[in-house]
Amino acid sequence: MTIRRTAALFLLLGCLLALGSPAAAADPVTVLAAAPAPQPTDPGTIDININGEGDAGKPSTSIVLLVGLTLLSVAPALLLLCTCFTKVFMVLGITRNALGLTSMPPNQVIAGLALFITFFIMSPVLSDVNAVGVQPYLKGDKDQTQAFNDGVQPLRQFMLKQTRPDEIALLTKVADAERPANADAVPLTTLVPAFVLSELRAAFIIGFVIFIPFLIIDIVVSASLMSLGMMMLPPVTVALPFKLLLFVLVDGWGLVITALVGSYA
């Protein structure tokens, strides 16, 4: 009986202590309301660049890629109209025709040679364009407009140096535009076609000079065949070996390329 009474006493004391504790006396709803709400986990931030600028003001990779694809799409037009490629290609083609060779060297060889001669002549201009326009833009020192205006200046100076004032005046008159105050005021829409016309004129002049010695050979061969009564033999077939011999003896390709490069000195 004593053990039972002792156990009952301890049980009664435990119940009294449990009922008297503050946690047990508090309302469960109040306890849940007082508990701090869990803070949502930060999923991270997404930074979307819509200004086309990367680190430290540099253009983003997507903008640089877009500009590169645009330049590749207009590169053939720039190569044909804003460089010396047109003149070099025409002079080499006229030289081939003056020799009496219709398909040798092939057009691919002529175009490839003209392309590398163009790079050789235009390398100082392209270096200046890269230095004042392309590299400052890639470094973030200039925006698109400023980089274009500064980068096109070396190319403008090259075209102005090779363009005759008569062509600029002709296109200005045809466009019914005001006469530019100076060379820097000539717009690109007038300068580019004027430059192409000047290049075509210069190519025809060089071609005329190249044709003269070969024309003399044709006349001499034709007169010789007529005097010998060999009218059935084509003069072109007989004159071709003499033309090739003369061209090799005077180092014709070297003279032509020297004249082309010297015209842009």
Q: CA–CA separation, 227 vs 238, rounded Å?
A: 14
194 in Cβ contact with 171 (< 8 Å): yes
Q: Supply the pLDDT for residue 52.
A: 47
Percent of the chain with pLDDT over 90: 2
Percent of the chain with pLDDT over 70: 70
Taking residues 135-164, report their average pLDDT: 79
Q: Which residues pair with 53 in a beta bridge?
A: 59
Q: Supply the pLDDT for residue 18.
A: 43
Tally of CB atoms within 10 A around 20: 9
Tally of CB atoms within 10 A around 234: 13
Q: HSE on the CB side for 78, CA within 13 Å?
A: 12
137 in Cβ contact with 147 (< 8 Å): yes
Q: Supply the pLDDT for residue 236.
A: 76
In this model, does residue 89 exceed pLDDT 50?
yes
Dihedral (Cα; 203, 209, 214, 215), 10-degree rounding = 100
pLDDT tens-place string over residues 157-179: 888 888 888 888 888 888 777 78
pLDDT tens-place string over residues 26-76: 444 443 444 455 454 444 444 444 444 445 555 556 666 666 666 666 666
In sequence order, the 6+-apart residues with CB closer than 8 A to the CB of 149 are none
Q: Supply the pLDDT for residue 46.
A: 45
Q: Supply the pLDDT for residue 68.
A: 62
Taking residues 10-22, report their average pLDDT: 46
Closest CA to 114 of 87, 94, 78, 81: 87
Q: Supply the pLDDT for residue 22.
A: 44
Lowest-pLDDT range of 68-77, 87-96, 230-239? 68-77
